[in-house]
């Protein structure tokens, strides 16, 4: 969903994108959520919430850490 005024995606769609991309990349790579959590320095519970799409807010530092752990850019994670 895009913001009607600016044409930019809203936070809910970005959260969905992050969740979908994490799950897709986990399937495609030989890495699991626990490994991503360890590399990103996020708790497994927090990363699980983000991957399930149930996290209320995802910080920029979490986006950076998750993208790094998955070997992708932040833009790829958000797209």
Angle of the 44-52 helix axis to the 33-40 helix axis, nearest 10: 120
Tens digit of pLDDT for each residue in 25-46? 999 888 899 999 999 999 999 9
Decide if 2 is inside a domain: no
Domain boundaries, position 73: 11-78
Is 25 a member of any domain?
A: yes
Residue 57 lies in a domain: yes
- How many CB atoms are located within 10 Å of the residue 52 CB? 11
Residue scoring higher pLDDT (10 or 52): 52
The total domain count for the chain is: 1
pLDDT of residue 9: 59
Would residue 52 count as lying in a domain?
yes
15 found inside a domain: yes
| CATH code where residue 67 lies | 1.10.260.40
Q: What is the mean pLDDT of residues 9-36?
A: 88
Residue 63 domain-assigned?
A: yes
Place of tokens 């992708």: 72
Q: Give the residue-averaged pLDDT of 62-69.
A: 97
CA distances from 35 to 6, 10, 11, 59 (A): 37, 29, 26, 20
Question: CA 4 to CA 27: how far, in whole Å?
Answer: 34
């Amino acid at each position: 969903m895009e913001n009607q005024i600016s044409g930019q995606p809203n936070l809910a769609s970005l959260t969905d994108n992050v969740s979908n991309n994490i799950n897709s990349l986990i399937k495609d790579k030989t890495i699991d959520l626990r490994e991503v959590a360890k590399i990103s320095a996020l708790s497994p519970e927090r990363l699980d919430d983000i991957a399930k799409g149930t996290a209320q807010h995802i910080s920029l530092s979490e986006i950076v850490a998750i993208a790094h752990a998955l070997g992708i850019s932040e833009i790829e994670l958000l797209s």
